[in-house]
Amino acid sequence: MEFSFNSIYSQIFTGAKMKVAVLMGSLSDKPKMQAAAEVLAEFGVPCELKIMSAHRSPGLVQEYVRKAPDRGIRVVICGAGLAAHLAGTVAAHTTLPVIGVPLSGSALNGQDALLSTVQMPKGIPVATVAIDGAYNAGLLAVQMLAIGDPALTAKLQKFRAKMTHDLEQLNQENS
Ligand code: RP5
Which amino acid type is present at position 118? V
- Using a 6 Å cutoff on CB, does residue 29 contact ligand 1? yes
CA 73 to chain centre: 12
Tell me the C-alpha distance between 90 and 50, whole Å: 13
- Using a 6 Å cutoff on CB, does residue 81 contact ligand 1? yes
Tell me the percentage of the chain whose pLDDT exceeds 90. Answer: 89
Tell me the C-alpha distance between 108 and 82, whole Å: 8
3-state SS, residue 145:
helix
pLDDT in tens, 91-106: 999 999 999 999 999 9
Closest atom, ligand 1, to C-alpha of 29: 6
CA atoms within 13 A on the CB side of 103: 27
pTM above 0.85, yes or no: yes
- Using a 6 Å cutoff on CB, does residue 25 contact ligand 1? yes
pLDDT at 16: 60
DSSP 12-74: TSTTPPP-EEEEES-GGGHHHHHHHHHHHHHTT--EEEEE--TTT-HHHHHHHHHHTGGGT--
